Structure 1
């Protein structure tokens, strides 16, 4: 995401590289290039101009410390202003209602139904909520079926009334059903509509006034760029929504919507969709997004994703196996599954500072582990538990069964042996110290809580 913008900003900052001090001339030249970069990224012109004017004012008003180069100072100022432009701080959901009601709104094809499922999944797994999905898209063919498929994927029930076109009535019955069943969150999926369709806009405005939701979210496809911002403004004028959801931010988008929408509608971006999987949704953190736009990575989000999959008891069990040199292919396979649950592999790698740019043109397929998984799955239970029995005839059988060749099987087993030896070397006091530090993260500001066991 934001790859073109990142490149352009990096080139802009090179204007100040080697300069001894910040002057009005070199700042003006740098920010002229920054403004062009923002406009090319489809950022609203007024937003881009206001942004660069603020950066210029702050840059010229600062004395550069001897230890800080002008280029570094400019990056710091731009980073802080980018974060502020996108909202400054992450804004959560208001779930105070009993049940809490969340109303989805947006254009056709913006991804409301899929996001409804993703949000239900996030609330279930991270907030320990019991959501109910409600099918209020009574126009699109198969819309109810799509929501049922999405609900089935995340294990969330779906309320629908086939044949009933009265969305207010459906919502009333769904909320009553949620109270009876003990669902503490109701997520209402609505039909996509155009801002110019007066009848459809009247309907969702009526629905909002009728159910008085705790949250009204506007879901928008970030790939539509400036059009997304204009549409958000039109919807906000009618619905006065609480927050924005940017979907498809993993695509070939210029990022202008994320940088403009907060200023234009004065409503926070609350979530971003980063892929097709049900887990591919993140709370929007302006500071972290500024890090990524400027090529600084996003280590905090990477740690959060890792800790969501971290099981302390499992880690202790693995530590004992490693110390006894009993780490086997079953354990190796389980570790691969945990990594896959963390999200898109290229997206994960880009969160590491400096790596994003290095792998920009490298295609990292989500099926990168497919060959390894096939080889392990072609082993017998004994072979997985006791890798030392893997003689040449067994390896040839595994190669045929996995659709690979003997060289690939030998390479995996060799890498596994090397990994096992290395893991044994770093156990003991180092492993204990690492686990102690991970436990200690619970009390650090901004760090996620460890999962309850």
Structure 2
């Protein structure tokens, strides 16, 4: 996420970190590079100007020039201003209204609005423990109605049916009436999108808004469109009282122009990031955490929250007991760990949140990807139960059979066995007295100030 911006800013600021003294000249040179990085990231010009002016004002002041570590102090100023540009804090959904609370979703066609409805419904159900009903008022695309019906069943929320011959307002009112009779907490209304902003669409959305009186009116927009996303949100906000933005496809956005422009141009907060195609790929937007990611500092807190919600608690405890008793870590355990990692967004999702990864050479980062993980799972799946429990018996002929069964090469099987052996050695170290403490000491430098909250799973 935002890889190009991270690389460009990282290269510029890295030269300043270790300097014992900063001057107005080298600060000026650095800010020129930062300005170019932001413009290349498609950040809106007014936002860039304001950002650079504020960083310059703070940089030539006492908090940087007279700091014992001026280079690091400047990096901290840049981070603080990135946070300010994006909104200071996580702006949560306001669901304090008398149930059912209504969330109205608006946006252009192709922005990922219908999928975002399902993602938000799942998030509310799993994270907020709310009962949810979804409905589609997109009478112009019958396929969208069927898509939402399918997604609602997938995430386990109620669906209020609609059809192309109905009035959108009647659909929304019908969904609200059903939600009241079934004591539903939240109703999410999907609206029709268009290829461009037009008067007809605005009139329809305004009528819907007036009919259902939503507590949240969220604008769904594609992160890949850069500052155009912010400009479109601004036009919508002039006709509709938006309460926030959902930025979709953020995992594929290497620039970050939309995330950095929306608050400055619209005054509206980004409330969620869509970070993948699956229905669990929705993250609350934390400006401070995103700023840390942009500067290559990682996002350990989000990583821990992901683990709390997505790691299988029973499986994790079973493995922990096994390690503590000194029992061998086998390939079934190894496969389970691969699957747990996949559930947390795969290698790409984990690397995005780990500190210092941005400084690694591309050659190193590209060595491991999610396709490799799926290949490893396929290889383990081609083994017999005995081979998974006792990998030492896997000889040449067995390797050829396993490779043939998984559609891979013998070299791939050898590589997996080597990685497994390394993991097995690490697990044996953890089983020894003090092994866990030593590992935690090694991780201490990766954690944010004040440590981290305990994992509740």
Instruction: Give TM-score, length-normalised by structure 1.
Output: 0.89
Among 398, 409, 423, which residue is 2:413 paired with? 409
CA drift at 1:429 = 4.3
1:350 aligned onto 2:356: no
CA distance in 2, matches of 1:410, 1:196: 56
Q: Deviations over 1:34-73 (max 9, x none)?
A: 2222222211211111111111111222254877333222
The alpha carbon displacement at 1:277 in A equals 2.1
Residue 429 (structure 2) aligns with: 425
- For 1:369, what is the secondary structure of its paired residue? helix
- Given that residues 225 and 253 in structure 1 are in contact (C-alpha distance below 8 angstroms), is that contact kept between their aligned partners in structure 2? no
Match of 1:10 in 2: 10
**CA offsets 1:297-352 (integer angstroms, 9 cap, x no match):** 22222222223233444333213323242433222222211110001422311321
Paired residues for 1:137-156 under 5 Å: 137-156=138-157
Distance 1:262 1:404, change over 3 A: same
Whether contact under 8 Å (1:195, 1:231) holds in the other structure is no
Aligned to 2:245: 244
- How far, CA to CA, are the matches of 1:326 and 1:249 in structure 2? 40
Shift of residue 408 of structure 1? 3.3
TM-score by length of 2: 0.88
User: Structure 1 CA distance, aligned partners of 2:231 and 2:409?
Assistant: 55
Give yes or no for the alignment of 1:450 onto 2:451: no
Distance 2:438 2:180 in 1: 45
Distance 2:194 2:238 in 1: 15
Tell me if structure 2 keeps the 8 A contact 1:243–1:270. Answer: yes
Match of 2:102 in 1: 101
CA distance in 1, matches of 2:326, 2:72: 49
Match of 1:287 in 2: 288
1:46 aligns with 46
Summarize the alignment of residues 235-384 of structure 1 with structure 2, pairs less than 5 Å apart: 235-322=236-323, 323-358=325-360, 360=362, 362-363=365-366, 364-384=368-388
More off after superposition, 83-92 vs 162-171: 162-171
Distance 2:287 2:349 in 1: 17
1:207 equivalent in structure 2: 208
Corresponding residue number in structure 1 for 2:73: 73
1:107-256 equivalences under 5 Å are 107-193=108-194, 196-256=197-257
Moved more, 44-53 or 57-66: 57-66
Q: Is the 8 A contact 2:223 2:253 kept in 1?
A: no
Secondary structure of the equivalent of 2:53?
helix
Find the aligned partners of 1:335 and 1:74 in 2 and give their Cα distance: 40
The answer on whether the counterparts of 2:17 and 2:75 sit within 8 Å (CA) in structure 1 is no
Structure 1 gaps of 5+ residues are none
For the residue of structure 1 that corresponds to 2:30, the secondary structure is helix
Counterpart contact for 1:106–1:192, Cα < 8 Å: yes
Following the alignment from structure 2 to structure 1, what is the Cα–Cα distance between the partners of residues 386 and 17? 60
Structure 1 residues 34, 371: closer, same or farther in 2, change over 3 A? closer
2:273–2:284 contact (8 Å) kept in structure 1: yes
Q: Does the 8 A contact of 2:106 with 2:218 survive in 1?
A: yes
Cα distance, 1:100 vs structure 2: 2.0
CA distance 1:425–1:22, change in 2 (3 Å): closer
Checking the alignment, whether the CA contact within 8 Å between 1:248 and 1:273 is kept in structure 2 is yes
Structure 1 residue 398, shift from structure 2 partner: 2.5
> Using the alignment, how far apart are the partners of 2:164 and 2:2 within structure 1?
44
Query: What is residue 401 of structure 2 aligned with on the other side?
Result: 397
Question: What is the root-mean-square deviation of aligned Cα atoms in Å?
Answer: 2.9
Bigger mean CA offset, 126-135 vs 58-67? 58-67
Q: How do 1:75-94 and structure 2 match up within 5 A?
A: 75-94=75-94
Please tell me whether the aligned partners of residues 218 and 245 of structure 2 are also in contact (alpha carbons under 8 angstroms): yes
- In 2, Cα distance between the equivalents of 1:339 and 1:146? 28
Shift of 1:414: 4.5
Question: SS in structure 2 opposite 1:271?
Answer: strand
Kindly tell me the number of residue pairs found equivalent between the two proteins. Answer: 447
- Note if contact 2:59-2:74 (Cα within 8 Å) is conserved in structure 1: yes
Residues 1:354 and 1:170: Cα distance change in structure 2 (over 3 Å): same
Cα 1:436–1:350 change in 2 (3 A) is closer
Q: CA deviation at 1:372?
A: 1.7
